[in-house]
Chain A
């Protein structure tokens, strides 16, 4: 039985119908782990050149949505379509146009950075010469060239994140799905990646950007989805979402939407507990 639609979903569907030439569409995505709800009625579209921000507190269902969109997880209800085609029909062809940076930089620790990228390039069926050139150039540009023969187990979190970014970018994908891509990166790399996302977007790439860092989301994303406990709370252009809630910054808007607790009060409680003799 299909779950009932909320007003937000209906609004999402209306927005969906207004959009044209969407490269990626998620329709009424629902996922239950047993009886536990992870996401419900999540609907959005991703157009060429668009950066869609996906926001939500811990456990709100962001990563579940990302896994469904990448085809790593099957939704309980709903579907994801790429250019109108349901993605399970040809998952491998779909993933060929996909660049994915997962939430955690889990890599095989015994492989070197270069070997890992070579493996990803081979799995993506990239031609040998192009693969070699891209790996060399990207490793140099991301300042990992001197470390290319070192085991990934010895890399810092930021270095592993860079490897994941290179792996996602190396085959020039049409759609980028980035789950906390700035996690662990140094300041310079953060600036580079932020600008890179905008540059890629300007080139017509679609970016699905999942993050906690509101400041980055505000600057980078053209549209926003705010999620809480698996439900879509707000969906629309970033400025519209902010104005709709009547807050000056996205941070305030986000707190208004998703948090039920008084941040100052919690901080005071923690200080009391720590200082208590």
Chain B
């Protein structure tokens, strides 16, 4: 019977896909997943399956961690007794809601450009006698559903099993699962439409050139907002316990806290008027965001689609006057050979103009800003007022955090290809044996990090703690940044953006762990060492052998590399994803 039902469903699906409407929906849905629009560059075609796994992975990992907290055997071994699942799990439920918001929001931001039709769609579809409005709308709604389901798929089952799986009552299990599912699913849908709605509104309100710039800013702010949500997910439930009832009434109707009301209403019924009010607020938020998104989409669809041929970047690009620009001055001093100068200009322009690359960079920077803000928020004000005290680690860590995120973001962006068919010009002109692509990448990384963050670091420290501290702190930070750049580029041998994506390899996850560990070192250990050196400048001398040994090790490692591994390449056959 199951196989007959499956065959029936499969038959209906293939029949639907064969209709003109189904064909269009399939086309738009695959574009939303895989890109394939105008941007031959920067589209990471990793397959639908991998995308879905990536979306589901955070929920799965967090759900598995719940067994360690709520598992009956673990609780027994710890000597913990029975608990009320509906009140004890509130902080975790809140975390799942946030996770759902963040994962769906991040996925929507990632596919932001693919939601609306692009120039290639216009060229292919305009001559065809088919209405494409409903097909794209249907594909968008399907995408919202898929994101919402996949982001929460693991927790829909595993979280209830972890919390109430050992209870004998099936109805309790189902009630808990239904409450959790309703809350996280609503949160996902809300997140999708909340991020999608501005895209529609901005398209309607702004000229195309302005839309591009503003949309990038909106995405940057959205990443910051999502990072803030994630960073505060553990503190908000505690905060809610401490606020007064009057204030709590005002706070809890705001998303994402209000989504807790949906879960609570399903769990404990309509008797809890407070939860019901929260649930209503959450439902209104979901409805409003969906309504705004769909109305904006409806009003802007025709306008944006019919104007697609006019949006071919037909505007002068922003320019910096070479005579007055500090970049021009640095350019002449830093890049000696013609090929270095050409590559540097190319890299800088690509980073600042290509939406995909800038978006990647801003995403990393947003994470850095959020972590820095969190670090600063834990400081008390007397550190800044009393000039006698030495600077706290939290303050000293900020340039370290920002430079780490900026450099890793840029390094990551270097791996994103930019119209590979156009790289023939570099193949033609660069000598693989002589061109020092590493030197170009190093100088670009240092220019972006040291020249942007260096003066700020120095001036901020000078303002509060004087010349000596400012000089010491900036010097130590600069030295650490230089070493980080060397680590990031130890096996680098290409012109940025000119190779295809690096292949995924078995040790790629280890590299990611390495980057997380590096972040930990930059956020915690190095600022602490920096603090000691600021407290007692003699201790700063220790940085010399420490960083010198790292540089020496890297130099020795490169000397052991074969010459062919140092040659300039346009085929990405490196053994690791970043190195």
List A residues at the B interface (Cβ < 8 Å): 70-72, 91-92, 95, 100, 102, 104, 106-112, 115, 118-120, 122-125, 149-151, 153-154
What is the CA–CA distance of A95 and B427 in the complex, to the nearest angstrom? 11
Nearest Cβ distance between residue A34 and chain B, in whole angstroms?
16
Count how many pairs of residues, one from A and one from B, have CB atoms less than 8 Å apart in the complex. Answer: 79
User: Known interface pairs A102-B424, A104-B421. Does A123 touch B313 (Cβ–Cβ under 8 Å)?
Assistant: no
B389 lies within 8 A of chain A by Cβ? no
Query: Out of A110, A115, A123, which one reaches B338, CB within 8 Å?
Result: A123
What is the CA–CA distance of A119 and B343 in the complex, to the nearest angstrom? 8
What is the CA–CA distance of A115 and B344 in the complex, to the nearest angstrom? 12
Q: Is the CB of B349 within 8 A of A122?
A: no
B354 lies within 8 A of chain A by Cβ? yes
Q: Is the CB of A122 within 8 A of B419?
A: no
The 6 closest A-B pairs by CB, nearest first: A122-B342, A149-B316, A106-B421, A123-B429, A151-B313, A154-B313
User: Known interface pairs A100-B428, A123-B339, A150-B317. Does A106 touch B350 (Cβ–Cβ under 8 Å)?
Assistant: no
What is the CA–CA distance of A154 and B421 in the complex, to the nearest angstrom? 17
Q: Is the CB of A153 within 8 A of B312?
A: yes
Task: Encode contact with A along B317-358: 1 for CB under 8 Å, 0 otherwise.
Answer: 101000000000000000000110110011001100110000
Segment 451-496 of B: residues with Cβ below 8 Å from A:
none
| Chain A residues whose CB sits within 8 angstroms of the CB of B424 once the complex forms | 72, 102, 106
What is the CA–CA distance of A102 and B422 in the complex, to the nearest angstrom? 10
Nearest Cβ distance between residue A203 and chain B, in whole angstroms?
24
User: Known interface pairs A95-B428, A95-B429. Does A112 touch B317 (Cβ–Cβ under 8 Å)?
Assistant: yes
Q: Is the CB of B429 within 8 A of A110?
A: no
B396 lies within 8 A of chain A by Cβ? no
What is the CA–CA distance of A153 and B350 in the complex, to the nearest angstrom? 13
| Chain B residues whose CB sits within 8 angstroms of the CB of A100 once the complex forms | 428
B536 lies within 8 A of chain A by Cβ? no
| Chain A residues whose CB sits within 8 angstroms of the CB of B315 once the complex forms | 150-151, 154
- Other A-B contacts than A110-B350, A118-B345, 19 sampled, CB-CB below 8 A, are A72-B424, A91-B431, A106-B422, A108-B419, A109-B419, A110-B317, A111-B346, A112-B317, A115-B317, A115-B349, A119-B345, A120-B425, A120-B429, A123-B338, A123-B342, A124-B338, A149-B319, A150-B314, A150-B316
Which of chain B's residues has its CB closest to A125's CB? B338
Query: Out of B313, B346, B349, B425, which one reaches A153, CB within 8 Å?
Result: B313
Nearest Cβ distance between residue A171 and chain B, in whole angstroms?
11
| Chain B residues whose CB sits within 8 angstroms of the CB of A107 once the complex forms | 422
List B residues at the A interface (Cβ < 8 Å): 312-317, 319, 338-339, 341-342, 345-346, 349-350, 353-354, 418-419, 421-422, 424-431, 434
Q: Is the CB of B312 within 8 A of A122?
A: no
| Chain B residues whose CB sits within 8 angstroms of the CB of A91 once the complex forms | 431
What is the CA–CA distance of A111 and B314 in the complex, to the nearest angstrom? 12
Interface of A is mostly: mixed
What is the CA–CA distance of A72 and B338 in the complex, to the nearest angstrom? 20
Which of A72, A110, A124 gathers most chain B CB within 10 Å?
A110
What is the CA–CA distance of A110 and B339 in the complex, to the nearest angstrom? 19
What is the CA–CA distance of A151 and B355 in the complex, to the nearest angstrom? 14
Nearest Cβ distance between residue B127 and chain A, in whole angstroms?
16
Which of chain B's residues has its CB closest to A116's CB? B425
| Chain A residues whose CB sits within 8 angstroms of the CB of B350 once the complex forms | 108, 110
Some 21 contacts from A to B, beta carbons below 8 A apart, are A70-B428, A92-B429, A92-B434, A104-B421, A106-B422, A109-B313, A109-B419, A110-B354, A110-B418, A112-B316, A120-B429, A122-B338, A122-B342, A123-B339, A123-B430, A124-B338, A149-B319, A150-B316, A153-B312, A154-B313, A154-B315
Query: Out of A106, A115, A125, which one reaches B419, CB within 8 Å?
Result: A106
User: Known interface pairs A104-B421, A149-B316, A149-B319. Does A111 touch B341 (Cβ–Cβ under 8 Å)?
Assistant: no
User: Known interface pairs A109-B419, A120-B425. Does A151 touch B346 (Cβ–Cβ under 8 Å)?
Assistant: no
Interface of B is mostly: helix
Q: Is the CB of B428 within 8 A of A154?
A: no
Q: Is the CB of B427 within 8 A of A92?
A: no
Which of A70, A106, A120, A149 gathers most chain B CB within 10 Å?
A106
Which of chain A's residues has its CB closest to B41's CB? A109
Q: Is the CB of B317 within 8 A of A149?
A: yes
Which of chain A's residues has its CB closest to B431's CB? A92
| Chain A residues whose CB sits within 8 angstroms of the CB of B341 once the complex forms | 122
Nearest Cβ distance between residue A232 and chain B, in whole angstroms?
26
Which of chain B's residues has its CB closest to A91's CB? B431
Nearest Cβ distance between residue A107 and chain B, in whole angstroms?
5
User: Known interface pairs A123-B338, A151-B313. Does A72 touch B427 (Cβ–Cβ under 8 Å)?
Assistant: yes
| Chain B residues whose CB sits within 8 angstroms of the CB of A72 once the complex forms | 424, 427-428
What is the CA–CA distance of A111 and B345 in the complex, to the nearest angstrom? 10
Nearest Cβ distance between residue B61 and chain A, in whole angstroms?
38
Nearest Cβ distance between residue A216 and chain B, in whole angstroms?
24
What is the CA–CA distance of A200 and B425 in the complex, to the nearest angstrom? 23
What is the CA–CA distance of A95 and B339 in the complex, to the nearest angstrom? 14
Nearest Cβ distance between residue B310 and chain A, in whole angstroms?
10
User: Known interface pairs A106-B424, A125-B338. Does A150 touch B429 (Cβ–Cβ under 8 Å)?
Assistant: no
What is the CA–CA distance of A104 and B314 in the complex, to the nearest angstrom? 21
What is the CA–CA distance of A118 and B349 in the complex, to the nearest angstrom? 13
What is the CA–CA distance of A85 and B341 in the complex, to the nearest angstrom? 30
| Chain B residues whose CB sits within 8 angstroms of the CB of A106 once the complex forms | 419, 421-422, 424
Q: Is the CB of B422 within 8 A of A108?
A: yes
Nearest Cβ distance between residue B29 and chain A, in whole angstroms?
26
| Chain B residues whose CB sits within 8 angstroms of the CB of A118 once the complex forms | 345
What is the CA–CA distance of A150 and B313 in the complex, to the nearest angstrom? 8
| Chain A residues whose CB sits within 8 angstroms of the CB of B418 once the complex forms | 108, 110
Which of chain A's residues has its CB closest to B346's CB? A119
| Chain B residues whose CB sits within 8 angstroms of the CB of A104 once the complex forms | 421
| Chain A residues whose CB sits within 8 angstroms of the CB of B434 once the complex forms | 92
| Chain A residues whose CB sits within 8 angstroms of the CB of B431 once the complex forms | 91-92
What is the CA–CA distance of A120 and B426 in the complex, to the nearest angstrom? 9
| Chain B residues whose CB sits within 8 angstroms of the CB of A110 once the complex forms | 317, 349-350, 353-354, 418
Which of B313, B339, B427, B430 gathers most chain A CB within 10 Å?
B313
User: Known interface pairs A104-B421, A108-B350. Does A154 touch B429 (Cβ–Cβ under 8 Å)?
Assistant: no
Which of chain A's residues has its CB closest to B318's CB? A149
Nearest Cβ distance between residue B100 and chain A, in whole angstroms?
35
Nearest Cβ distance between residue A200 and chain B, in whole angstroms?
20
